[in-house]
Structure 1
């Protein structure tokens, strides 16, 4: 309905650590990452600035992360400008980094007074980045990421005034990035424009599953997402999808690569997992699109994750994504005569081929 078509998105993760000068958002390296996203066929990028939370008690959000906030703000604005200069739209996703290693979904400030302090601190954090999104002209903003202990409980009522305040600051589209296993219990979607899901769904229950088994799992996931979209009467955006480069990544795709040991690197397993989860969504009218997790602000900096990490860059999975991004999706709306001529278009992700004739 927006005329934008399906969201073909890539998350570009920050490299803001001061030990990596010249490699973060807004740098020449970041521009190269944007160029690679365009070459892949992406039409959107997701940028993920972080705030720091010390532990799961939720005492407050510190805007300083790796570098002073004003520096990060300038860098994010520069990265938004880089994206727009290349014709890319931007989803800004203010994220929480919990220093203790606890999962942000389980933050629990304790009693009512603790929750009130936490809500006010989070409100300041989110409104600060909402103002950045407005200033940079980002097309979409996520109001939160995996805040299960808040937005799936009766305390979700305290989140609604925060969304209303964001509406007063930021004029673009709003979503929220629910975890895949709690989206059906999230209570704030009425106040938002799109249902966001961090979609690290398992596609199989056993190791060594065949591609056909993975594809059946992908169809089951797509059917469940369609049910969620129809229940709320809103489109779904997969704010993160991703698989690590290892054997059987689709069994427990949420496992973080830094914590793995004795990993067998397996590009084909990663590629097949992507193909199996993406293919059913291409014909889903209720799915607005997805963001791949993830590339980095310096595409040449391989220090950000292990060889078996999530990045599809330079791997078989990148071929799957190129095929998917250049295919026609149900979310694109009616096609225009001749628009596909000369495009790289593989209507079935994973073929790794060039289909120059749209009638073949």
Structure 2
């Protein structure tokens, strides 16, 4: 089958789903200690976001530990099932769609992609624990009728070592939840993810390296996207599924597109232009593509007035020039 025919199949599938006309203009809505209030949601409406990723959390003590602890009184309100439901319901009342995206935090911030058990017994314990974790939120997703559930985030070693488990898990989830499914593969993982055909979106946390410049221009960043975009398109064609950027974002600092995944606590020079340019480039490259479903900006805090600002070099675009870029582009892709 030619690449043209494969691409045509994707476009036909996407068009028939009723989603070709509306991009997912999303934000990653960070869990907080407190309930979300109307004034918090108002800020999302101002940037024309039509979707939000609600992210309850589970915790693992070590990358080789098989127990996931979740939905406890020791967690922040927004990290629990009760908190996630409250967030979802207020967002929905404001016409904002939701993707539930349960995530795991490993002690000391170790990367979730390296979670790997040391014995078959521990693997089975992890699988049983993950079942409880994700099916709990599949039930919530069905209860609240959210349109998308993300079944995992950046779990490369888990996915690589236990492919049969993930096939079984997807069937269990679909028996509970009737909406659409994705998985958030890291930017260097998605090509090896084995179960895209069983899901509805190819989910990518899109932290691709694009430029080594201190303040890359929009054109330079768009050029940097070309080889990655070609590979993303190939995976979409191969699997016949639209692509969803389950996370995308850039820090407001020098060299932001060199290692966009960087989450350290450095105090490097804040660079608002670099972050804004990177946002413009990703919108220009992807939002006009029919095979591209949209994405979720990383990340958006509910206490908007206290977030971001011109001295902040972190990911959030709040109270920075990048916020204006998001607002303008999301407005242009709103119905």
SS at match of 1:285: coil
Residues matched between the structures, number: 316
Post-superposition Cα deviations, 1:186-206, rounded to whole Å, max 9, x if no partner, equal 112121111100011111145
Structure 2 counterpart of 1:268, from 266, 269, 273: 273
What is the RMSD computed on CA atoms of the aligned residues?
Answer: 2.2
CA shift at 1:36, angstroms? 1.2
Equivalent residues of 2:248, 2:298 under 8 A apart: yes
Give the TM-score normalised by the residue count of structure 1: 0.82
CA shift at 1:169, angstroms? 1.1
Post-superposition Cα deviations, 1:253-298, rounded to whole Å, max 9, x if no partner, equal 1001x4213x101111100111112211022111100110011122
Structure 2 counterpart of 1:237, from 226, 244, 248: 244
Q: Unpaired runs of 5+ in structure 1?
A: 17-23, 333-338, 340-360
Q: Which residue of 2 aligns with 1:211?
A: 218
Name the one with the larger helix percent.
2
Q: 1:259 and 2:265 equivalent? A: yes
CA shift at 1:71, angstroms? 8.6
Structure 2 counterpart of 1:7, from 15, 24, 28: 24
CA shift at 1:70, angstroms? 11
Equivalent residues of 2:184, 2:205 under 8 A apart: yes
CA distance in 2, matches of 1:161, 1:289: 28
CA shift at 1:143, angstroms? 0.3
Compared CA separation, residues 61 and 167, structure 1 to 2 (3 A): same
Higher alpha-carbon deviation: 69-78 or 167-176: 69-78
Equivalent residues of 2:236, 2:242 under 8 A apart: yes
Q: Which residue of 2 aligns with 1:129?
A: 137
Compared CA separation, residues 70 and 186, structure 1 to 2 (3 A): closer
Post-superposition Cα deviations, 1:190-246, rounded to whole Å, max 9, x if no partner, equal 211111000111111454544322120123333322221111110010000000111
Q: Which residue of 2 aligns with 1:342?
A: none
CA distance in 1, matches of 2:218, 2:79: 46
CA distance in 2, matches of 1:87, 1:64: 27
Q: Unpaired runs of 5+ in structure 2?
A: 1-14
Q: 1:288 and 2:297 equivalent? A: no
Equivalent residues of 1:32, 1:299 under 8 A apart: no
SS at match of 1:81: helix
CA shift at 1:45, angstroms? 0.6
- Pairing 1:169-248 to 2, within 5 Å after superposition: 169-248=176-255
Higher relative CO (Cα under 8 Å, sequence separation at least 6) belongs to: 2
Give the TM-score normalised by the residue count of structure 2: 0.88
CA shift at 1:64, angstroms? 3.8
